[in-house]
C-alpha cells in the first residue's frame, strides 16, 4: 500500500513505517497537487493540503490521518463513503491543558503588572492578587483537552464543572451538566473555558445573551475555535467591563486583523493559535500515526476515527 505524506519526518520514523510494508511518497502540503504518482495513494497523512489536492481524484484512497484535532479544513463532500478519517485527538491535549492553567494563573496572579513594573524598574507591591482556591472553573466541552487541564487544576482545591452534549459524569470533574443547562453553568463559573469543536451546533453558541450571565469580574478563555463565540458580542462585553480578563488563542478570522479591537484591551491576553505547541508534539503525533498504520495493516479498529456527520 502507498502513503502520501505531506509532513517530512526523520529517516528513523520513515523507516519504521516502511518496515510495516508501506511505500511512501512525500510532497510538502503547500505545493502538493494531483499527479500520477500521488493519485493512486491508499493513505493520506496530512494537515491541510486540500486547497491544491483534489482527494475525489484519489480513487484508491481508504484512510486520511490528520495531524490536527479539528477537521474543519477537510472537504467532507469529497471524502468517499468508504474512506476513514482519523484525527489527532489527545495529541496536543497536555500542552493545551498546561496553557489553560498558565493563563488562569497569569490572570489571577496579575503577571502583566510585574512585567510592566520590571520594565519601569519600579518596586511597587500589588495587593490585588487572587488564589484559584475555592474558584469554580467551568469547561465548555469535556474532551481530552478539558480533561488534561481539569486533572492539573484539581490540586488547586477549586470546583471543576463541565458541560457536554450528554452530561455524562467524568473523572476530575465535580459535576458535568447537559448542554441544555448552559445558562446555569455560565452563572456558576468564575472561569469559563471553551474546549468545544466547531460544528453547526456549536457555532456562536456563546453570544451576548448568555455570556452576559457570567459573574462580574469573571474570566473567559477560548482554546477551541474562534466561531464558538460571537466576537462582536465579546468585544461589546469587554467595553462594558464585564470580565476580569479574557484569554484567546483562537479567533473568527486568523490571522487576527490589525484593526480588530481585541488588540486594544489591557485585559485581553492574545496568543496566536499557539497553545498546542510543545517539544513533544511531533513525537506524540507520529506515535499515533504509527499505531494507526499498524492497526490498519493488521485490519484492527483504528484510533480516533472521526464521525464526519457530527464533525468530531
Q: Is 273 a catalytic residue?
A: yes
In this predicted structure, what is the pLDDT of residue 75?
Answer: 97
Domain spanning 2-91+279-297 has what CATH number? 3.40.50.720
Domain range annotation of the chain? 2-91+279-297, 93-270
What was the pLDDT predicted at 69? Answer: 94
Extended beta strands in 6-92, E state = 23-26, 43-46, 63-66, 84-86
Catalytic-labelled residue, pool 273, 281, 284, 295: 273
Q: Catalytic one among 180, 184, 240, 254?
A: 254
Measure the CA dihedral 166/89/275/225, to 10°: -50
pLDDT in tens, 120-152: 999 999 999 999 999 999 999 999 999 999 999
Evaluate whether 2-91+279-297 and 93-270 have a shared fold. Answer: yes
pLDDT tens, position by position, 36-58: 999 999 999 999 999 999 999 99
The CA-CA-CA angle for residues 150, 110, 279, to 5°, reads 50
Using one digit for the tens of pLDDT, what is the confidence trace for 16-33?
999 999 999 999 999 999
Q: Write the CATH number of the domain with boundaries 93-270.
A: 3.40.50.720
Question: Does the annotation mark 254 as catalytic?
Answer: yes
φ and ψ at residue 191, rounded to 5 degrees: -130, 130
Q: Which of 148, 225, 231, 285 is catalytic?
A: 225
pLDDT digits (tens, 9 = 90+) for 183-236: 999 999 999 999 999 999 999 999 999 999 999 999 999 999 999 999 999 999
Amino acid at each position: 500500500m502507498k502513503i502520501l505524506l505531506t509532513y517530512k519526518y526523520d529517516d528513523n520514523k520513515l523507516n519504521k513505517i516502511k518496515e510495516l510494508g508501506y511505500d511512501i511518497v512525500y510532497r510538502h502540503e503547500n505545493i502538493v497537487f494531483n499527479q500520477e504518482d500521488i493519485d493512486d495513494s491508499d493513505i493520506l497523512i496530512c494537515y491541510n493540503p486540500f486547497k491544491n489536492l483534489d482527494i475525489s481524484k484519489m480513487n484508491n484512497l481508504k484512510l486520511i490521518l490528520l495531524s490536527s484535532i479539528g477537521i474543519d479544513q477537510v472537504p467532507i463532500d469529497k471524502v468517499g463513503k468508504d474512506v476513514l478519517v482519523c484525527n489527532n485527538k489527545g495529541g496536543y491535549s497536555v500542552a493545551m491543558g498546561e496553557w489553560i492553567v498558565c493563563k488562569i494563573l497569569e490572570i489571577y496572579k496579575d503577571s502583566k503588572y510585574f512585567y510592566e513594573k520590571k520594565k519601569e524598574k519600579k518596586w511597587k507591591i500589588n495587593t490585588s492578587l487572587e488564589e484559584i482556591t475555592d474558584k469554580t472553573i467551568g469547561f465548555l466541552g469535556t474532551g481530552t483537552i478539558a480533561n488534561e487541564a481539569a486533572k492539573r487544576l484539581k490540586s488547586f482545591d477549586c470546583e471543576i464543572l463541565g458541560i457536554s452534549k450528554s452530561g455524562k459524569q467524568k473523572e476530575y470533574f465535580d459535576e458535568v451538566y447537559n448542554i441544555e443547562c448552559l445558562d446555569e453553568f455560565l452563572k456558576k463559573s468564575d472561569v469559563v473555558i471553551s474546549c468545544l469543536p466547531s460544528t453547526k451546533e456549536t457555532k456562536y453558541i456563546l453570544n451576548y445573551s448568555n455570556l452576559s450571565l457570567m459573574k462580574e469580574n469573571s474570566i473567559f478563555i477560548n482554546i477551541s475555535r474562534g466561531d464558538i463565540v460571537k466576537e462582536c458580542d465579546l468585544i461589546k462585553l469587554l467595553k462594558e467591563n464585564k470580565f476580569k480578563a479574557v484569554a484567546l488563542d483562537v479567533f473568527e478570522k486568523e490571522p487576527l486583523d490589525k484593526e480588530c479591537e481585541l488588540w486594544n484591551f489591557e485585559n485581553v491576553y492574545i496568543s496566536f493559535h499557539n497553545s498546542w505547541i510543545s517539544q513533544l508534539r511531533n513525537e506524540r503525533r507520529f506515535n499515533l500515526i504509527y499505531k494507526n498504520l499498524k492497526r490498519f495493516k493488521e485490519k484492527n479498529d483504528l484510533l480516533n476515527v472521526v464521525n464526519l456527520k457530527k464533525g468530531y
